[in-house]
Amino acid sequence: MINIGILTAGGDSPGLNAAIRGVGKAAIGEYEMHVVGFENGFRGLVHNRHRTLDSQALSGILTLGGTILGTSRDKPHKMQIGERQLDMTPAIIETYNDHHLDALVCLGGGGTQKNALRLAQHGLNIVTLPKTIDNDVAKTDVTFGFDTALGIATEAMDRLHSTAHSHHRIIVCEIMGHKVGWLALGAGIAGGADVILLPEIPYDVEKVAEAIRSRVRSGKRFSIVAIAEGAMSKDVAPKVWAARAAKDAATNKEEKAAARAELAALERGLKGNTLRLSQQLEEMTGLESRITILGHVQRGGTPSAADRVLATRIGTTCAQYINEGRFGVMVGVAGNSTQPVPLTEVAGHTKYVPVDHDWIKSARLVRTCLGD
């Protein structure tokens, strides 16, 4: 019998349970595999915290948000154990062997893909599934969790319109997206935002203010600004991008530590950026400005129908790959199909919003201000 392990790592995301169910039910019912779930991400492998995922355990979880296995952001090679940060890869390999696993399935975003690749390089048979509300995993058209979060953010934008209109206000709505703007862009377009600010397009606050003043001159005395949490002004963005590039290019521990420290200092300066922008726009336009930060509400709740279908599709494909002996890959989405993508092509890469993407073009054509 083939034995497989499964874990969820990184931030929680709608559709995780649907994906667990997809992998498990196909593995058990179609391929007669034994499935064991490890709790709280990679830490569960270290401490051998596990449970058998049989048909009964997988029943009734399709519509549940979160993850029945729990999750964490622990890295196998840098895990906090007591007062020390240790490489726990040997312990993970030991647990893998103790359970006689033939494969380990890792559900997660960009960080999980990197951690999974490291384990694959140590000889473990790995298959990953791409999840994140940010939709920033490379080499896949879409990640599960994105559609649900997009719907939540869009509904929030719809609700904000009525209060903005009633009080003649600017409403600045912060949407998740630290490095990429897929979620803010999609929700901004679907929710009819007047301004959309993304990490990929540095903004000029004067141009944003002028777009709002132009609306006032045309008789529209309210505006909705959708801003990704990682959006930056044109003065700050080049410095942050240079620091990120320096960190990635560092060749030794000393250089990497220095680059990380510089980047951390710059990113600390970005905290409160949405509030600062709101205050600037109030001063520059004469309109009252209020902020709404959606935060983790975008991660929660029942997954959408689209995410349930997507998670089930890639989950069942994962079981198929394991049965065929395809390892060291992520189950990527390409149109209406799935494809195995080598982890070496995924780990360490980010899917940014191209500045010439069709969504960007459409936003500009309906006269949405992108801050540039």
Q: Render 1-56 in DSSP notation, one character per residue.
A: --EEEEEE-SS--TTHHHHHHHHHHHHHHTT--EEEEESSTHHHHHHT-EEE--HH
In terms of phi and psi (left: phi > 0; alpha: psi -120 to 50; beta: otherwise), the region of 4 is beta
Q: Which amino acid belongs to residue 197?
A: L
CA 130 to chain centre: 9
3-state DSSP call for residue 292? strand
Sign (positive/negative) of CA torsion 300, 116, 140, 179? positive
Q: Decide which of 3.30.365.10, 3.40.50.450, 3.10.129.10, 3.30.1490.100 is the CATH code for 3-144+303-346.
A: 3.40.50.450
Q: How many Å apart are CA 69 and CA 39, to the nearest integer?
A: 5
pTM given for the model: 0.93
pLDDT tens-digit profile, the chain (372 residues)? 899 999 999 988 999 999 999 999 999 999 999 999 999 999 999 999 999 999 999 999 999 999 999 999 999 998 888 888 889 999 999 999 999 999 999 999 999 999 999 999 999 999 999 999 999 999 999 999 999 999 999 999 999 988 887 778 899 999 999 899 999 999 999 999 999 999 999 999 999 999 999 999 998 888 999 999 999 999 988 888 888 888 888 888 887 888 888 888 888 888 889 999 999 999 999 999 999 999 888 888 899 999 999 999 999 999 999 999 999 999 999 999 999 999 999 999 999 999 999 999 999 999 999 999
- pLDDT at 254 (0 to 100): 81
- pLDDT at 247 (0 to 100): 82
Name the catalytic one among 54, 74, 98, 134.
Answer: 134
- pLDDT at 253 (0 to 100): 80
Contact 366, 188 (CB under 8 A): no
Q: How many Å apart are CA 330 and CA 346, to the nearest integer?
A: 8
Stretch(es) of the chain classified as CATH 3.40.50.450: 3-144+303-346
DSSP per-residue letters across 262-276: HHHHHHHHHTTHHHH
Supply the CATH classification number for the domain 150-299: 3.40.50.460
- pLDDT at 249 (0 to 100): 81
The answer to whether 134 is a known catalytic residue is: yes
Contacts of 59 by beta carbon, 8 Å cutoff, 6+ apart: none
